[in-house]
Amino acid sequence: MKVMFLEPPAVTARSPERFAGCTYELYHFPDLGNLYAFTMLHERGVEVDYLDASLLGDDEAAFTERLRAGPVDYLVLHAVVLAKPTDKHWIAKLRRLRPEATILVHGPEATRVPEEYIGTDPKVVVIRGEMERALTELVLGEMQAPYGLSRFEPEQGKVVTYDPDPRGYIPFDDLPIPARDHPSLDRYKHRYFNPKYQGRPHALVLTSRGCSFRCSFCVPNAISFSREMEGFRTLGRKPPVTKASPARIEAEFRWLKEHGYKSLHIADDQFLWAKKRTLEICERVAPYQMEWGMLSRADFLTDEEVVAALAKAGCRSIDIGVESLKQDVLDRINKDLDVRDVYTAIRLLRKHGISPKLNIMFGTTPDETPEDILWTLRELKQLDITNVMFAIATPFKGTAFFDYCKENGYLIDETDDLNPMGKAMISYPQLTNEKLEELERHAYRTFYLRPKVIANRLSRLRSVKDLVNDLRVAKRVLLH
């Protein structure tokens, strides 16, 4: 038995980022959407391989040659919307190259439109929503019923979708720590980096799935989005958040430290929850003195005891979803956030040596004006921050925001050619698509091409390689 997890060469001009699932790559992350199932099969004695074309440096011809080598029973793809042209191209090609293999496809876009990936091929199977248990049991022949699957049934002449697993969602502590030391993953170890952190090698970590907040524009990471999409289909609501215990989080920090990793980024949609839990996590991971960061709402960062504990535990960078510094805009998008908490959080983070990165989104509501955006930009320039990501609110199919924009005539492009960093799919009466794109370009250039920001970035460089990586990212961001 052999299972190959694939990240094939992109057929689009840019490579899609598969873990977040909503943007193109600026630098390459390991796809945690595949790593848990990879590890579960490995721990059960199945031969697994992980072919990542980007890190192998493969073009289509070289990747094809790898796929020809040796027998394989299952081929696995993680399908996000920006990768759809690539995945459909490779599914057709894999069927010709490896006609004996079953192709397993999972991820939010395959969950949303399984028939677009399956067609009439009974050997292409979509695993919907949270997929690790189903994929493992399917491969091992332990599946009692086709729970959570979509597949073509020849006798019915159509794609059939089956009910989800009655056992419900996997407790997070039942998921294994990804087997990053497996030979097919370890070969990539020194290629992973994140410019926010100096320590390398770098690891991407997940400690929860889902988010309980109600922001109207939000698209979570691809793992959470798959669960959420299936939850709305079957339950009519968001699925519950599943969180790792502090002991499980400590165990992954310890594993990474023992295996030579120098930094990690916790990519949960929301990492901080109850104060007591946060303080226990900090106490547990502090002895490892790893350089790490995370994503959080600002209102979880207004307690100085919490911020001080995070800093003591090695936290060096926090991404904060702010969207706008105008309170009326936040209220209209159900952010449930007092904008004053943003200013408090930034002050406390800077005081304790943690670098804040703010995520700002333009066009989250038709009530936002160009003046609102320019006011937010002026405010940002007055704050003690040097790292902001600007994006245009994008209505992803399968979200309430997509339905709202379509119903009200704001959606001007229904294709899958999405790009929140550069392309507007919406146009409002007082904030047109052209204006949104112009404002985003203006924001990047006027914020980042300031002496203060340039000097800060240069001070963090440690090598010529760092400079080359920074220039590559700057080119993509500033010239997009």
pLDDT score at 464:
57
pTM of the model: 0.94
What Cα–Cα distance (Å) separates residue 233 from each residue in 134, 198, 229, 399? 18, 42, 6, 12
* Ranges in the chain annotated CATH 3.80.30.20: 181-478
How far, in Å, CA of 442 to CA of 436, rounded? 10
pLDDT score at 28:
84
Please give the backbone phi and psi of residue 290, each rounded to the nearest 5 degrees, phi first.
-80, 145
Domain 2-161 carries which CATH code?
A: 3.40.50.2300
What Cα–Cα distance (Å) separates residue 83 from each residue in 52, 209, 222, 275, 352? 14, 22, 12, 38, 40
* Ranges in the chain annotated CATH 3.40.50.2300: 2-161
Q: pLDDT, tens digit, for every residue of 233-256?
A: 998 999 999 999 999 999 999 999
Q: What is the Cα 202 distance to its own chain's centre?
A: 16
pLDDT score at 451:
86
> Which helix H or strand E contains 474, and what residues bound it?
helix 464-478
CB 211 within 8 A of CB 222: no
CB 342 within 8 A of CB 320: yes
Angle subtended at Cα 245 by Cα 242 and Cα 249, rounded to the nearest 5 degrees: 110
Low-confidence ranges of the chain (pLDDT < 50): none
Please give the backbone phi and psi of residue 316, each rounded to the nearest 5 degrees, phi first.
-120, -15
Q: pLDDT, tens digit, for every residue of 394-431?
A: 999 999 999 999 999 999 999 999 988 889 999 999 99
Retrieve residue 456's tokens. Answer: 């800060």
Please give the backbone phi and psi of residue 129, each rounded to the nearest 5 degrees, phi first.
60, -140
pLDDT score at 30:
82
Domain 181-478 in CATH 3.80.30.20? The answer is yes
Q: Can you state the angle between helices 275-285 and 246-258, rounded to 10 degrees?
A: 20
pLDDT score at 480:
56
How does DSSP classify residue 367? T
pLDDT score at 214:
86
How does DSSP classify residue 426? B
**What stretches of 126-245 show up as alpha helix (H) in DSSP?**
132-140, 183-186, 222-234
